[in-house]
Amino acid sequence: MVQPGYNPALQAYCLNQVSGVEPLPLHEAKAVVDEILEGFPFSNELSKTVAIARILTPMCRGIMGWTARTPLWVFEANRPRAGKDYLAGCTGVLYEGRANEDAPLDHDANETKKRIVAALQSGRRFMHFANTSGDIRNDAFEQAVTAKVISGRLLGSNDAASDLTMSNELEFSVSGNSGFTFTEDFALRSRRISLSYFEEDANSRVFRKPQLHEWILQNRARVLGAFAGMVQEWVNKGHPPGATPFTSFPEWARVVGGIMAVCGLGDPCKQQTDGTFTRDTLTEDMRCLFGLAVAEKPGQWLTKSEVRGFVRAEDHFAGGHDMDLFLQWDLEDRKGQTAFGQALSRYKGRVLGGVRMEADATDKKRVKYRFVPVCVPKPAQDGGIQGNEPPAMGTLGTLGTEKSGDGRGGVVEDHETPLGGMEQTIPKVPKVPELQPLDWGNAPGLHLDTVETLLTSRHPGRNVNPGSIPAPLPATVEIPSTALPQARLE
């Protein structure tokens, strides 16, 4: 083990409160991970992959660099008592000996910044905003997720000496149930871990390890050894970088993504489509609007008023289904129309669901828009249910609705099946005329999304050799096979 005291290679003061941590062979490490995650009803395979990456991340701090930023971890669930906060607490229990839960995140950016500054002053490494609800718009929080340095003011002081500048080593997570919504920036900074539990009484569940947090504490050295073993496996294989980039968190994608791939645990950087239960409402609504416009008037120049008409018109759908788009604004009111126009301008040139919105601002007082189908790479699968394949994990098999897939995880239709003596259905999505595929020649691996698909997306250990591992680790550095990063433990 690393000797207690300051370690210049790690740039950390090591306490070594946990003894006997040795990297486990990969097969044993995977078995330990399965023990931890057994019983959590993951909605899809990618959610389980991201959950493993979340617990692995602190083990990699000495490699990434202590201020390397990590994604915002969003623990979402279809209902209360699904286990999202208990799962989130596993990381804190393992690395700090306790689970932390902070008050929910809200709209007050100034108060949020004060909470983050206070957490950094106290030396905390994790903040988990539990049971967040509503529509969150918080610039201070979004900035803190990616900022390597946080500036603030000492609470209770107003003089110049109270100004603070601190390295940001915090890892943030939030939890929320269905209906928790947020901004596009929030979504792009996050990795989502989705849980689905459908039985009536959540408290009646029986777990193999009913006291999981206590079990982790009792077996802390072994559990740490499991994640250390994954890192050792990656080092032995030449520490290849992760294949999928994550622009906001490059060090994390390179290191954690690489470890997960080498260990055959999936790709945590893989594109996640809109959240199962939480979502970026504005972008989702815009995606639907793009689909409606290209279905009705493909390539035609339209005024803002005509574009708004797609939102209000109910005769697009048989039976007059209400799409519930842009509910944050009253589009019959002048103020709402102005807000909608400003939002529309922010999406000019964007491609959403295979449709690009172009703008003609020749007449600045009368900007026109048109919606054009484009050829886009087929999106990565997010691990959701495909077609009528049986669910692979958790209690997802109790869903009670057989979903017919569209080949990319979108639900096209539903079939009612019994669920505990009751009937549970998924709302049918209004049918929209399909676009005719454009002639893209023989371009391989490309497709054109249909409008129907656009609409369905709405519903749905060992010693570290001092000096051998600089922090952060350049991509070209060679690591001795005996070297392994030591996580800071408290």
Task: Give the C-alpha separation, 452 to 429, whole Å.
Answer: 8
Residues 308 and 256 in one domain: no
What letter represents residue 289's amino acid? L
Residues 294 and 232 in one domain: no
Task: Give the C-alpha separation, 167 to 147, whole Å.
Answer: 9
Query: 3-state class of 224 per DSSP?
Result: helix
Task: Give the C-alpha separation, 177 to 273, whole Å.
Answer: 17
Residues 394 and 305 in one domain: yes
Residues 162 and 232 in one domain: yes
Helix or strand run (H / E) with residue 51: helix 45-56
Helix or strand run (H / E) with residue 153: strand 149-153
Task: Give the C-alpha separation, 471 to 407, whole Å.
Answer: 43
pLDDT in tens, 396-446: 333 333 333 333 333 333 333 333 333 333 333 334 344 343 333 333 332
Residues 95 and 224 in one domain: yes
| Mean pLDDT lowest among 306-320, 321-335, 377-391 | 377-391
Residue 434 in any domain: the answer is yes
Residue 479 in any domain: the answer is no
Residue 98 in any domain: the answer is yes
Task: Characterize the bridge pairing of strands 171-177 and 279-280.
Answer: unpaired
- How many CA atoms within 13 Å lie on the side-chain side of 215? 13
Among the candidates 205, 230, 262, a domain finishes at 262
Query: 3-state class of 118 per DSSP?
Result: helix
Residues 303 and 181 in one domain: no
Number of domains in the chain: 2
Residue 9 in any domain: the answer is yes
Residues 411 and 448 in one domain: yes
For the domain that residue 135 is a member of, what is the CATH number?
3.40.50.300
Residues 226 and 154 in one domain: yes
Helix or strand run (H / E) with residue 170: none
pLDDT in tens, 268-290: 999 876 455 566 667 778 888 88
Task: Please give the residue range of the domain that contains residue 405.
Answer: 285-459
Residues 201 and 320 in one domain: no
Residues 209 and 176 in one domain: yes
Residue 474 in any domain: the answer is no
Residues 168 and 290 in one domain: no
Q: What is the pTM of this model?
A: 0.63
Q: What is the longest distance spanned by two Cα atoms in the chain? A: 72
Residue 250, preceding bond cis, omega within 30 degrees? no
Residue 267 in any domain: the answer is no
* Structural Rg of the chain based on CA atoms: 24
Residues 378 and 449 in one domain: yes
Residue 227 in any domain: the answer is yes
Residue 70 in any domain: the answer is yes
* CA distance between the termini of the chain: 15
Task: Give the C-alpha separation, 372 to 352, whole Å.
Answer: 11
Helix or strand run (H / E) with residue 151: strand 149-153
What angle separates helix 220-236 from helix 250-262, to the nearest 10 degrees?
90
Q: How many residues are listed for the chain in this entry?
A: 490
pLDDT in tens, 5-62: 787 877 777 776 666 789 999 999 999 999 999 989 999 999 999 999 999 999 999 8
